[in-house]
Structure 1
Amino acid sequence: MADVASLPPDVILDQPARGRILVIDDEPDIRESLEALLSGENYRVDLAPNATDGQRLLESSSYDLVLLDLMMPDKSGMQVLEEVRLRDQDTPIFMITAYGSVQVAVDALKRGANDYFPKPWDNEKLLIEIDRMIARRRLERENLELKRALKQRYSFPNIVGKSERMLKILDLVAQVAASRATILITGETGTGKELIANAIHAHSARAEHSFVPVHSGSVPPDLLESALFGHVKGAFTGAVASRKGYFEIANRGTIFFDEIGTISLETQ
Structure 2
Amino acid sequence: MITTVETALVIDDDALMREFIVETLRRNGIAVTETSNGLDAKRMLEERQFDMAFIDLKMPGLDGMQILKFMKTSHIGTLPVIITAFGTVEKAVEAMRNGAYDFLMKPFSPEQVEIIVNRAKDWAGLQAQNTYLKEELGWILPHGRQMVGQSASICKLMKDVKQVAASNSTVLVTGESGTGKELVALAIHSLSERSSQPFIRMNCAAVPDALMDSELFGHEKGSFTSAVTRRIGRFELAHHGTLLLDEISEMNVGVQAKLLRVLQEHEFERVGGSNTIHTDCRLIATTNRNLKEQVDKGAFRQDLYYRLNVVPIVAPPLRDRPEDIPLLVKAFIQRFSQNRGKNAPVISLSDEAMAGLQRYPWPGNVRELENLIERLCVMEQGTEVGIEKLPMDGHSLPAAVAAESDGPSDAMFSIPDIEHRTILRALKATGGNRRRSAELLGISIRTLRNKLNLYRATSRMPEDI
With structure 2 as the length reference, what TM-score do the two structures score? 0.31
| TM-superposition CA deviations, 1:41-71 (whole Å, max 9, x none) | 1111110111011111111111111100001
| Residue pair 1:64, 1:134 contacting (<8 A) in 2 also | no
Q: 1:106 to 1:226 in 2, by over 3 A?
A: same
Query: What CA distance in whole angstroms lies between the structure 1 residues aligned with 2:36 and 2:66?
Result: 16
CA distance in 2, matches of 1:48, 1:223: 63
1:85 aligns with 2:86: no
**AA at the equivalent of 1:131:** N
Pick from 63, 67, 88 the counterpart of residue 101 of structure 1.
88
Q: Decide whether aligned partners of structure 1 residues 228 and 31 sit closer, same or farther in structure 2, where only a CA change above 3 A counts.
A: farther
User: Where does residue 29 of structure 2 map in the other structure?
Assistant: 42
Relative to structure 1, is the Cα distance of residues 139 and 217 closer, same or farther in structure 2, using a 3 angstrom cutoff? farther
CA 1:224 to 1:106, structure 2 compared with 1: closer, same or farther past 3 Å? same
1:182-239: CA deviation from partner (whole Å, max 9, x where unpaired): xxxxxxxxxxxxxxxxxxxxxxxxxxxxxxxxxx99823267548999xxxxxxxxxx
Change (3 A) 1:20 1:222: closer
> Are 1:65 and 1:92, in contact at CA under 8 Å, matched by a contact in 2?
yes
Please tell me whether the aligned partners of residues 84 and 92 of structure 2 are also in contact (alpha carbons under 8 angstroms).
no
Partner in structure 2 of residue 73 of structure 1:
60
Distance 1:261 1:18, change over 3 A: closer
Match of 1:23 in 2: 10
Compute the displacement of 1:102 (Å).
3.0
Q: In the alignment, is the contact (CA less than 8 A) between 1:217 and 1:262 conserved in 2? A: no
Matching of residues 113-152 of structure 1 within 5 Å: 113-148=100-135, 150=137
Residue 258 of structure 1: SS of its match in structure 2?
A: helix
Name the residue aligned to 2:371. 258
Question: Counterpart of 1:220?
Answer: 329
Are the aligned partners of 2:24 and 2:113 in contact in 1 as well (CA < 8 Å)? no
Task: Say whether the 8 Å CA contact 1:70–1:97 is kept in structure 2.
Answer: yes
Where do residues 157-172 of structure 1 align in structure 2 (5 Å cutoff)? none
Please list every run of 5 or more consecutive structure 1 residues that lacks an aligned counterpart in the other structure. Answer: 1-16, 152-215, 230-256
Deviation at 1:104, TM superposition (A): 1.4
Change (3 A) 1:228 1:39: farther
Q: Which amino acid aligns with 2:375?
A: G
Structure 1 residues 163-242: aligned runs within 5 Å: 219-221=328-330, 224-225=333-334
Is the CA contact 2:5–2:52 (under 8 Å) kept in the aligned structure 1?
no
Preserved CA contact (<8 Å) 1:70 1:78: yes
Gaps of 5+ in 2: 139-324, 339-369, 385-465
Q: Which residue of 1 aligns with 2:292?
A: none
Secondary structure of the equivalent of 2:90?
helix
- Kept in 1, the 8 Å contact 2:82–2:104? The answer is yes
In structure 1, the residue matched to 2:217 is none
Mark the CA change 1:77 to 1:42 in structure 2 (over 3 Å): closer, same or farther. same
The aligned counterpart of 1:199 is none
| Counterparts of 1:36 and 1:266, CA distance in 2 | 72
Tell me the secondary structure at the aligned position of residue 26 of structure 1: coil
Contact 2:5/2:120 (8 A) holds in 1: no
Query: Contact 2:85–2:105 at 8 Å: present in 1 too?
Result: yes
CA distance in 2, matches of 1:44, 1:34: 12
Q: Please, what is the CA RMSD of the aligned residues? A: 3.3
Q: Residues 138 and 64 of structure 1: is their aligned pair in 2 closer, same or farther, counting only changes over 3 Å? A: farther
Give secondary structure in 1 for the equivalent of 2:137.
helix
Counterpart-to-counterpart distance in 2, 1:223 and 1:59:
55
* Secondary structure in structure 1 of the residue aligned to 2:122: helix
Corresponding residue of 2:280:
none
- Structure with max Cα Rg: 2
Aligned partners of 2:336 and 2:96: how far apart in 1? 47
Check whether the contact 1:18–1:44 (CA below 8 A) recurs between aligned residues: no
